[in-house]
Amino acid sequence: MKRMTAFSVRVAKETLRDPVTLIFGVGLPVALLVLMSIIQRSAPVEIFAISRLAPGMAAFSLAFVAMFAAILLAKDKSTSFLLRVFASPMRPWEYIMGYALPMLPIGAAQCLICFLAALFFGLPFSGRLFLALIALLPAAAVYIAFGLLFGVVLTDKQAAPVSSILVQCAALLGGIWFDPALIGGAFETVCKALPFLHASGAAASAIAGDGTGVLRHVLWLIGWAAVLFAAAVFLFKKKMKDN
């Protein structure tokens, strides 16, 4: 446990050492939220309801955490750092958790900033916002697991572009701009199977006070997180043996 904690501290320092990346990860979702809210004020009909836009953008911001995790792990893999670390008695799951744990508060902070920005555009302040933050933690775990999985299998040059595809999937399939039910068919089925829609849905259900909806979405996210972390640990273990 001490080894994993020490490793997590190092990962946190490396992540915070590049503030430009963090500012981009926070700034873009907030900028989009502000832009869509301004458009909504001028629109004759409700297009971007703040009660749906705010949780959607908070969930969308977590996709950038996946990018942070992927780039950091892939970069470590391209240097001799991991080779030196492999000499330690840490187990594969400890390495993966060491990368994951520092990313969780970063993701929570991004979601909090999105909700604080939404308060200026009509999102009511209530205890449900804190429930929404808690409901987004499993979503953060999913995105972190995606990032670590990418970091294990990709090179440092591949990690960023592939992670950007994940960001686009989160935006298009996460129900942020429109309800997938409006399109229906195979598109809606795919959205419901993937975790992106459940990430925004968990937060939206929490804000709406729908406990059953929160539980349904969170359970789906936990399942995805478990599978992705297991895959990341398995492939990381294989990488250790190869090296």
Q: What are the distances in angstroms from CA 154 to CA 17, 78, 147, 203?
A: 22, 10, 10, 31
Look-up of token digits 């997590």: 8
Q: Which two tokens stand for residue 92?
A: 């594969």
pLDDT of 43 reads: 65
76 Cβ partners below 8 Å, 6+ apart?
A: 82
pLDDT of 239 reads: 76
Q: Whole-angstrom Cα distance, residue 238 to residue 74?
A: 15
Query: Which of 106, 123, 125, 11 lies closest to 62 in space, CA to CA?
Result: 106
pLDDT of 13 reads: 74
CA atoms within 13 A on the CB side of 85: 25
- Can you say how many angstroms the Cα of residue 24 is from the centroid of all Cα atoms in its chain? 14
10-residue averages of pLDDT along the chain (243 residues): 72 71 75 80 70 88 90 80 64 84 89 91 89 95 94 86 89 83 86 93 92 94 96 86 66
Q: What is the pTM of this model?
A: 0.91
Q: Whole-angstrom Cα distance, residue 140 to residue 153?
A: 20
CA atoms within 13 A on the CB side of 60: 29
Q: What are the distances in angstroms from CA 124 to CA 127, 142, 193, 202, 229?
A: 10, 28, 31, 17, 35
pLDDT of 192 reads: 92
